[in-house]
Structure 1
Amino acid sequence: MTMKVTQDSMGTHLDWKHEGVTPAMIDWFWSNMEKCFLLWHPSQHEPLVWAVPPKHGNPIGSVHIAPQTWNDGTRQNLYIRFEDLATVSVEVKDYIVYEHCVVVAGLGFGEESMKKGEPMGYRIHQWQKTDYGVVGKSSAIGMKKKETPEEGIIWSQHCAEEVGNWGVFLPQMYNLFKVVTNTNYNPYADLTVEGKGKELKYKYIK
């Protein structure tokens, strides 16, 4: 896997590539994070729970609680919501150039945060198929809570280890759970997008 970090006025961005990982595997991951969260970052993550679980075929509006401790020793326990692209600003959607994506919003640190309006910030993960696997990009964009370049670098280090671990466990987990055909326990949503900028929307989620 290869990675490259860049920063601009909106935030911090991590370009990455994987061999042996497919877009469908990453699509599956976002509806089944509770199965994989400790594997995603074994040294910094704690078990994930859903405050609002995803629905089969449509994870929009789902909220997960993601306790973790970053390299600087800061413990995060954020409520994180899977966003409807129609509600995301154009300046954020303009960063999405690949065929699959998820935009999640950091809401805050308690249950009451699910009732708030503007998110603290967004995390964008996007990816698409290549001859060898996938190419993708992850971005940290502060909104109500702007992030310093130094904070962005700390996030990029954490994110690089997360995304890097997809290559370690995701193909195996995806294939193992094919035997679970009950979508209450093994949901899936195709996260293909179509359109650009203002017109960006999910192709298969209505």
Structure 2
Amino acid sequence: MIYSVAHDTLGTHVDWQLEDVTARMIDWFWSNMEKGFILWHPEQHEALQWAVPPRHGDPRGSIHIAPQTWNDGRRQNLYIRFEKLEDVPGEIRDYICYEHVAIVAGLGLGEECLADPDPLGYRLHQWQKTDSGVVGKSSAIGTRKKESAEDGKVWATHCMQEIGNWEVFLPQLHALYKVVKDPARNPFADLSVEGRGRAARYTSIA
């Protein structure tokens, strides 16, 4: 993995490159996170559960429960929702510059956040194919809960481990699950977009 980290007035951004990982594999991962969540960050992740599972062909509105402990020692039982692009603030969508996009919102730290969801902030992940794999960018942007540069550094360390581990396990995991043809147990959604910034729209999700 090759990466760099930058901070600006809106948030923290990690630019990254991976070898031997395809854009389709990463698309698949977002609908099948429970299959590889511990592998994504073995030192800090616990088993993932779905509060609202993704639908085959469309993960928008799905909510996963992601218990984890970061480098600063905080254990968080995060509820995270996969967003519709049009529901995300425009200044966040302005960062969309690659061909595949997943934007998720951190709703809170317990089931009570499902009653009246109001995102604490967003994580924008985007990627596209290269000759040897994929290139991408991941961004952490606080909204209701502002994130300092120090918060961003903690997140970036966590994020770099996650993204780097895709190189280690994702090709093999994706290949293993090709045998499962039932879309209820092995869903897939094409996360490619047309347009960039606020004009980005999913090409295969109505």
| TM-score, normalising length: structure 2 | 0.98
| SS of the residue 1:184 aligns to | coil
Task: Give 2:103's aligned residue.
Answer: 103
Task: Give 1:134's aligned residue.
Answer: 134
8 Å CA contact 1:15–1:136 kept in 2: the answer is yes
In structure 2, C-alpha distance between the alignment counterparts of 1:192 and 1:183, rounded to whole Å: 19
| SS of the residue 2:175 aligns to | helix
**1:185 Cα deviation from its structure 2 partner:** 0.3
Task: Give 2:49's aligned residue.
Answer: 49
1:143 aligns to 2:136 (yes or no):
no
Task: Give 1:93's aligned residue.
Answer: 93
**1:201 Cα deviation from its structure 2 partner:** 1.3
Task: Give 1:68's aligned residue.
Answer: 68
| SS of the residue 1:131 aligns to | coil
Give matches, 1:110-129, under 5 Å.
Answer: 110-129=110-129
In structure 2, C-alpha distance between the alignment counterparts of 1:195 and 1:138, rounded to whole Å: 18
1:183 aligns to 2:175 (yes or no):
no
Q: Unmatched 5+ residue regions in structure 1?
A: none
8 Å CA contact 2:68–2:77 kept in 1: the answer is yes
Identity of aligned residues (%): 63
**1:114 Cα deviation from its structure 2 partner:** 1.9
**1:174 Cα deviation from its structure 2 partner:** 0.4
Q: CA RMSD in A?
A: 0.8
Any runs of at least 4 consecutive aligned residues in structure 1 with deviations exceeding 3 A, and if so which? Answer: none
| SS of the residue 2:188 aligns to | coil
Task: Give 1:203's aligned residue.
Answer: 203
| SS of the residue 1:29 aligns to | helix
In structure 2, C-alpha distance between the alignment counterparts of 1:13 and 1:188, rounded to whole Å: 27
**1:124 Cα deviation from its structure 2 partner:** 0.6
8 Å CA contact 2:56–2:187 kept in 1: the answer is yes
Q: Unmatched 5+ residue regions in structure 2?
A: none
Task: Give 1:38's aligned residue.
Answer: 38
In structure 2, C-alpha distance between the alignment counterparts of 1:184 and 1:164, rounded to whole Å: 28
**1:81 Cα deviation from its structure 2 partner:** 0.1
In structure 2, C-alpha distance between the alignment counterparts of 1:196 and 1:96, rounded to whole Å: 6
8 Å CA contact 1:107–1:116 kept in 2: the answer is no
Per-residue CA shift, 1:155-181, capped at 9, x if unaligned? 000000000000000000000000000
8 Å CA contact 2:97–2:197 kept in 1: the answer is no
In structure 1, C-alpha distance between the alignment counterparts of 2:115 and 2:147, rounded to whole Å: 23
Matching residue's letter, 2:93 = K
**1:90 Cα deviation from its structure 2 partner:** 1.1
In structure 1, C-alpha distance between the alignment counterparts of 2:168 and 2:183, rounded to whole Å: 25
